[in-house]
Structure 1
Amino acid sequence: MNAVAPRVRLPRRALHGVLLLDKPLGLSSNDALQKVKRILRAEKAGHTGTLDPLATGLLPLCFGAATKFSQLNLDADKAYEATLHLGQTTTTGDREGTVVQERPVVFTPAQLDAALARLRGDIDQVPPMHSALKHEGRALYELARQGTVVERPARRVTIHALELLSHEGSALRLAVRCSKGTYIRTLAEDLGELLGCGAHLSALRRTASGPLNLAQAVTLDQLSGEDDAQRLTHLLPPDTLLADCPLIRLEATEAGKLLAGIRRRTALPPAARVRAFGPEPHAFLGSARITAGELIPERLLSPVELQTLLAGPEPLTT
C-alpha cells in the first residue's frame, strides 16, 4: 500500500493592504477570502462583511494591518444592482426558495414610480427569517429550515437612492444605495407587495462599499492567471478603508509618541477620525481623532507591522 505524501505547507508572508475582489456567483465570502489568501500566500487576512453566495460583486479583502480597519467598511453605505422577478414570492425572498404564491404582473409606470418613491428614505424593515441574525442564540436561518417562524422586530434603515434601470416582462432591475444592515431581499418583497404582484430577488451585484467601488476590483480568474508581481499591483494601501478621512503627516518624534499611545496637543482642526502618517511617504501609523485641541490615538499599527509595511512584500519562495 502506497503511503500518502504529506501535504506541503507553503510559506506565508506579511502583506498589508486591501484587495478589491469581484466575487463570483456561488462562492461564500469566506471561501473567496481563503482562495485569495492562498494565492497571495498571506499570513493574516479578513473581509469587511459577508456577501451571500448568490450575490456577486465588490468584496473588499483586508490583509495584515488593514484588518484593524475592516469595521469601518462594514459600517459604510453600500450600493447594489438588484434584479427582481415579479409575480412570484418565495419562502426565502430570493430564487433559492420555493415559490409560495404567483400573481399577475399588472401595474402602470406611474404606479411603479409611486412604489419606488415610498421605499426611499428612512424605512422600517422586518429582517427575513432566512438570515444570520440570532434569536436566543440561534441563527434565524437554522430555525427557518426547521419550519419555525419567530417574531422579528423591524429595524430602521435608509434607502439613499432607488432607481429603475430596466423593466422587461417579469424582470425588473434596480440601482440601490443604502445604509448598512439593509436586506435587498426584503426590499424586493416590499416593492412586490406595493405593486400588488409580489416579487423575489433573482440576482444581486454589489457595486460599491463606502468609498470603494468595482472599478479597481479583480476577479479570481485574473489573479490565478497572473504572476506574483502582477498580483501585488492589486493590493491597495492599508489606509484605503479610511480614504474619506483627512490625512495628517507627523514628524518622527510626534509619530513615535502617537505610536506609543500618547495624547498630544495639536493645532490641527477637529476631526472625528484622521489617518496619520509618519515622515516617510508610506509610513501609515493608524487612525486617530482630534478633539478639543488634542490628537488622540485610536487604531494603530504595531512596530512589526510598520516595519514590514515600509520594507514591502517579501518575494515568494517555493
Structure 2
Amino acid sequence: MTQIKRQKRAVSGWLVLNKPYDVTSTQAVGKIKWLYSAKKGGHAGTLDPLATGILPIALGEATKTVPFVQDGVKIYEFDLKWGSTTTTDDLEGEVTATSDVRPSQSELEAILPAFTGVITQVPPAFSAIKINGERAYDLARAGEQVDMPSREVEIEAFELLAHSDQISTFRVTCQKGTYVRALARDIAEQLGSKGHVSRLHRAAVGPFTDQDAVTIEQIEALELAERDQQLRPLNEAVSHLPEVVLDERQAQLVRMGNPALLIGRNAPIALDEAYATHKGAMVAMGYVEKGQFKPSRVIVAG
C-alpha cells in the first residue's frame, strides 16, 4: 500500500526545546520539523548528545534570525567529576589518566577568577571544529592525533554551586565558542588533579531560558494547532536590537527590499543594526542610514 506523503507547511517561529540526554542536535531538529510538518528548520548552536537543555529551534522564516541567537550569551550548569580525564573530556570517552588529588572548596573558589574574563583554551579533540576541512571528532574517532589550535573565549561569570570529593557543580555564563569540557579539564589540571564533565545542562541561549523550554514529549501530546501556539515570535530573537515601527506603506516598501524613509520626531537617523515591525509582526532586519530603514533580510509573511 502506497503511503501518503506528508504535506509540508510554511510554518515560522522559534521553539525553545529542552533537548533530552543522548540525542544529537540534528536528531532533535529533525523530530521537531516532523512534528510540525515544517518545510524548513535549523538550530542556534549545537548541544552535545550527552548534554541536556536549551536548544533553540528555528522553523521557517525564523531561520533568518539564527545568527542573532547563536551569538547570544549562554549559561551552562555542569558537574566536574574528580579523579580522571577521558579522551572526550566527558563521560563518553575512555579514561586516559587518573589522580588521587581532590581540591578543597576554598582552592576551587580561589582559582575561578583565573577562568573569568577573556581566557585562552584548547578545545577538546572531540569537537565540531574543522581541521584542514575535516571535523576534529571525525579525525579523533579515526585514531588520528589532533592538534587543536588554542582560542580566546570570554567567560562573564563562573560560580561554584556545590562541592564534594567526588563531584563539583558549577554555573558558567559565557560567550559563543566556549567549550565547557575544556574548562573542566583545565581547572582540574591547574589544581594538580584530573577531571571531566559528567553532567552538562544548558540553561540559556541568548533570550531563551529554561523557563521558556518545552520537551519533545510535551509537543507530541498536542494537536497541531496547539503546537503552533508553543512557537515564539521572530521578534524575540532580535529583542536586543532597536525596533523600528513601520506603517503600512513603509512596510510594503521594505517587504519588496526597498528602503523606507522614517518620519516623526523620534525617528532614528542612523542605526548599525535594527529590526522593523508592522502591527507587531517582524518585517525585516536591516539598518538605518540617513533616516531611511534599509532591509538586509526580509521576512516573508506567513
TM-score (normalizing by structure 2): 0.94
8 A contact 1:17–1:239 mirrored in 2: no
2:273 aligned partner: 273
1:1-318 aligned at under 5 Å gives the runs: 5-266=1-262, 267-278=267-278, 281-301=279-299, 305-306=300-301, 308=302
Instruction: Mark the CA change 1:269 to 1:293 in structure 2 (over 3 Å): closer, same or farther.
Output: closer
Q: Shift in Å at residue 260 of structure 1?
A: 2.5
Task: Tell me the TM-score normalised to structure 1 length.
Answer: 0.89
Deviations 1:147-194 (A, max 9, x none): 222332211100101101111231111001111011110001001112
- Same amino acid, percent of matched pairs: 37
Instruction: Point out the more displaced range, 83-92 or 5-14.
Output: 5-14
Q: Distance in 2 between matches of 1:210 and 1:116?
A: 23
The one-letter amino acid of 1:277's match is T
Give CA-to-partner distance per residue, 1:193-231, whole Å, 9 cap, x none: 122111101111111011111111100111111222322
Q: Deviations over 1:265-314 (max 9, x none)?
A: 44415333222112xx243201121244332211112xxx31x2xxxxxx
CA contact (8 A) 1:259 1:300 kept: yes
Name the CA distance, whole Å, in 2 between partners of 1:92 and 1:244: 35
3-state secondary structure, aligned to 2:111: helix
Q: CA deviation at 1:119?
A: 0.5
**CA distance in 2: counterparts of 1:48 and 1:111, whole angstroms:** 36
Shift of 1:261: 2.3
Kept in 1: contact 2:86–2:96 (CA 8 A): yes
Give me the whole-angstrom Cα distance separating, in 1, the residues matched to 2:44 and 2:89.
Answer: 24
Displaced runs of 4+ in structure 1, greater than 4 A?
A: none
- 1:191 & 1:204 partners in 2: Cα distance? 16
Aligned counterparts of 1:70 and 1:115: Cα–Cα separation in 2: 35
Displacement of 1:110 after TM fit?
Answer: 2.4
Shift of 1:107: 2.3
Aligned 8 A contact 2:105 2:163 in 1: no
CA 1:247/1:150 → structure 2, altered by over 3 Å: closer, same or farther? same
Structure 2 unaligned runs (5+)? Answer: none
More deviation, 291-300/38-47: 291-300
Alignment RMSD (CA, Å): 1.6
| More divergent stretch after superposition (157-166 vs 227-236) | 227-236
AA matched with 1:273: E
Change (3 A) 1:254 1:124: same
CA-CA distance at 1:109 after TM superposition: 2.5
Identify unmatched segments of 5+ residues in structure 1. 309-318
Cα distance in 2, alignment partners of residues 236 and 79 from structure 1: 20
Q: Would the alpha carbon gap of residues 198 and 291 (structure 1) be closer, same or farther in structure 2, given more than 3 Å must change?
A: farther
Aligned length: 298
Task: Give the secondary structure class of the aligned counterpart of 1:239.
Answer: helix
**Rounded Cα–Cα distance in structure 1 between residues aligned with 2:83 and 2:151:** 26
Shifted more, 115-124 versus 147-156: the winner is: 147-156
- Whether the 8 Å CA contact 1:105–1:170 is kept in 2: the answer is no
Q: Name the structure 2 match of 1:315.
A: none
